[in-house]
Amino acid sequence: MNLPTHIAPLLISALGVSLVLGVGEIKRHIEAKRASRSPPILYKLSFFVSLSLVAFGVGLGAYLNPSSYNTFINNFPYVAAGLVTILNYLHSA
């Protein structure tokens, strides 16, 4: 499949975001019917996979578009802080 270099990372990231939103909405509907408890391992795994897809799409976009590499490197501390926050959330849940 020959896609332009800016489309593939966008599609991968969009898939990751859609997975996070879709699974979160399904989980919200299920949890609305039950007493509160910790999220099941499948939910945590799907959340991790979707975030990995988003990160992979961003990294692939930076690799395929060298001019955006500097922008990515300049914003990397913020990305790292977000990653630490997410990992802390997953660990505490």
Average pLDDT, whole number, for the chain? 75
Q: Which residues of 19-51 are buried (b: 16+ CB within 10 A; e: fewer)?
A: bbeebeeebeeeeeeeeeeeeeeebeebbeebb
pLDDT value at position 37?
A: 66
For 9-38, what is each residue's pLDDT tens digit?
777 777 777 777 777 777 777 776 776 666
What average pLDDT does this structure show over 56-77?
A: 77
Distance between CA atoms of residues 44 and 23, nearest Å: 10
Residue written as token pair 């593939």: 8
pLDDT value at position 38?
A: 66
Helix (H) or strand (E) segment spanning residue 33: none
pLDDT value at position 45?
A: 80
Query: What residue segments make up the domains of the chain, in order of their start?
Result: 7-92
Enter the tokens of residue 66: 């060298």
Q: Determine what percent of the chain is predicted with pLDDT higher than 90.
A: 0
Enter the tokens of residue 24: 């979160």
What are the C-alpha distances in Å from 47 to residues 50, 71, 83? 5, 26, 13
Find out whether 58 and 73 touch, Cβ atoms under 8 Å. Answer: no
More confident residue, 20 or 77: 77
